Amino acid sequence: MPSAATRFSPVMDRAEDAAQRVARLSPGQRECLALVNQHLSSKEIAAQLGISPHTVDQRIRQALQVLHVERRAEAARLLAAHDGVSEPYQRLIHQPPYIDPAADSPQIDGAVGHQIRHADRTGGTNPA
């Protein structure tokens, strides 16, 4: 049985190990994970790459095994960190909807719904 010192490697060894695992990914797996990192679904990734959603799911499943992670988002973050992507996930912003003060509102007591939008998909934030 290995000793505790050999079972738990230092942080640098883990980083090198992660780099070696990322290097074993196929180009197709890397493409899929890069798009997962942009919060695309399997269907959206398939449409963008011109392959079936089943193929996307297979590539991601195989990448999870190679990287020794359980979630696709975790695999995408690992790849993004290895490739030096500065902002791996889109920033989520709170953006209340624009309400024209002159318009009559059917809402009682001025209740207003709120939305969360992806800043990168809306082109930035709108001043409230």
- Band of pLDDT at residue 11, cut at 50, 70 and 90: very low
pLDDT, residue 85, reads 73
Domains held by the chain: number: 2
Domain that holds residue 41: 11-83
**Which residue would you say has higher pLDDT here, 12 or 103?**
103
Please spell the DSSP secondary structure of 47-105, one letter per residue. Answer: HHHTS-HHHHHHHHHHHHHHHT-S-HHHHHHHHHHHHT-S--SPPEEEEPPP--TTS--
Residue 24 to residues 28, 67, 85, 97: CA-CA distances in angstroms? 12, 9, 19, 46
pLDDT, residue 91, reads 53
Co-location of 45 and 74 in the same domain = yes
* pTM of the predicted protein model: 0.57
Co-location of 24 and 63 in the same domain = yes
Express each pLDDT in 29-84 by its tens digit: 999 999 999 889 999 999 999 999 999 999 999 999 999 999 999 999 999 888 87
Co-location of 69 and 97 in the same domain = no
pLDDT, residue 27, reads 94
Query: Any residues with CB less than 8 A from the CB of 39 and at least 6 apart, and which?
Result: 89, 90, 118
Residue 118 forms part of a structural domain = yes
Co-location of 100 and 67 in the same domain = no
Direct distance between the N- and C-terminal alpha carbons of the chain, in angstroms, rounded to an integer = 62
CB of 37 closer than 8 Å to CB of 79: yes
